[in-house]
Amino acid sequence: MILNKYISHCGIASRRAAVELIKNGLITVNDEPPSHPAYEVKKTDVIKYKGKVIKPEVKKVYILMNKPKNVITSMNDESGRKTVIDLLNNKISERIYPVGRLDYQTTGLLLLTNDGDLAKKLSHPSHKVTKIYEITIDKPLTEQHREQIENGIDLEDGHVKVNWIKIVDDENQIINLEIHFGKNRIVRRIFEHFKYNVLKLDRIYYAGLTKKALKRGWFRHLSEQEIIMLKHFV
């Protein structure tokens, strides 16, 4: 495998960007700068990026799912409910796990992977992974309540402040908001705090990923660029 392709397979950068890393002296082969981006990597070579050994990731799988309603975010369920793993329909041979959770009735973007390091980082509050939800409530959201949510409210487990919130329909019943934390049922609890019932809850954005061309209940592999984007994000 040539060097820039090797770097790409390590999840560091695209092949084109890897050439620039090599030119800028950020890549070494056996502690020496390589002679050319097309250097043929040997099995005995030690490749480093910024002084840290890098190796291609083998059989790492990254799946983006548009989770439907009434499906549990779990590997299995004692009550016999359908799980997100059931939706894969045995089409993925590797054992993968959902990153975080979506409630049983919540729909939208869910990432599944066997990359434990990435999953841990995406789930950790310190990385402030952004999520956007579309919420449908049972009655119009008042401007006063919208402002209160925007400015931050106190729930039973602490203070909660969204990144932003906006009304997206004329009836003031469909709302989009962005958050970067993952407390249990947090979006539903924000509106329940003001006595609104959440009729629909859909995650439409997760860590730079969107539902574009991904129908409800469908899933797809992430592209190479999306994987690199996620790793750089955290």
Residues forming the active site: 103
- β-pair type (198-206, 107-113): parallel
Three-class secondary structure of residue 74 per DSSP: coil
Q: Which of 134, 147, 115, 158 is nearest to 206 (CA)?
A: 134
* DSSP structure class, residue 192: H
Q: How far apart are CA 98 and CA 2, in angstroms?
A: 33
- Find the helix or strand (DSSP H, E) in which 229 lies: helix 224-233
Three-class secondary structure of residue 151 per DSSP: helix
């890098």: which residue's tokens?
A: 54
Assigned token pair, 59: 């059989």
In the chain, the amino acid numbered 70 is: N
Beta carbons of 174 and 143 less than 8 angstroms apart: no
Q: Which of 204, 207, 206, 205 is nearest to 234 (CA)?
A: 207
